[in-house]
């Protein structure tokens, strides 16, 4: 049984949406993880626990939000 072109275009659209959502999720998670690890390392180095962890985590969240906004402007 052959599929028509509409089935393939729907599948392609779904794949593009899934790829975009995966890209957003992974990028935001990596931004936050980098912020957490950098904050923990700096806290251990400078003895300022937990302040730099909080600051760097929020900067990571901000970087993730900025990425989403930049992606939306494309």
- Report domain extents, the chain: 24-72
Task: Say what the pTM is.
Answer: 0.78
pLDDT number for residue 8: 58
Instruction: List per-block mean pLDDT (blocks of 10 residues) for the chain, which spans 74 residues.
Output: 60 86 94 97 95 97 95 85
> CA-to-CA distance for 30 and 47, rounded, in angstroms?
25
pLDDT number for residue 54: 97
Residue 42 near residue 59, CB atoms below 8 Å: no
Give tens-digit pLDDT for 45-59: 999 999 999 999 999
């Amino acid at each position: 049984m052959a599929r028509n072109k509409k089935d393939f275009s729907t599948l392609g659209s779904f794949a593009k949406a899934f790829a975009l959502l995966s890209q957003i999720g992974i990028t935001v998670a990596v931004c936050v993880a980098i912020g957490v690890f950098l904050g923990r390392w700096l806290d251990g180095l400078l003895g300022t626990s937990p302040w730099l962890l909080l600051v760097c985590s929020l900067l990571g969240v901000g970087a993730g939000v900025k990425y989403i906004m930049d992606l939306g402007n494309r």
